[in-house]
Amino acid sequence: MRLHFHAVNFDADKKLLALIQKKLNRLEKFNDKIVETDVYLKVNNKGKLNKTVEVKVHVSGNSYVVSRDAETFEKATDLVYDVMKRKLRQEKEKKLP
């Protein structure tokens, strides 16, 4: 699976990108047909929950988008991972005979 990172209006730390990549690579356990993933990291002015992680997963034939806000990018990544995992499982179960 190819990951493309897009840090909007800031420079993302290599440690952060490595952590996100490690976490999102585990999504392949739930659907082995993932082609590529786009990750958008944004800092906004929404008070405490000012870090946004948006993940677009392109599976052969479909695309899924999940976006979550949190206090840190790590927490937002965990939230996105949990939702995306659920979506990929549902998709895989739907296609089973």
Say which CATH number the domain at 18 has: 3.30.160.100
Mean pLDDT of 15-20: 94
User: Tokens standing for 32?
Assistant: 């082995």
Structure confidence at residue 96 (pLDDT):
66
Section 37-62 average pLDDT: 90
Q: How confident is the model at residue 31 (pLDDT cuts 50, 70, 90)?
A: confident
Strand 2-8: give its sheet, edge to edge. Answer: 2-8, 34-43, 51-59, 62-70
Say whether pLDDT at 85 is over 90.
yes
> Into how many domains does the chain fold?
1
Spell out where the chain has E strands: 2-8, 34-43, 51-59, 62-70
Domain that holds residue 78: 2-95
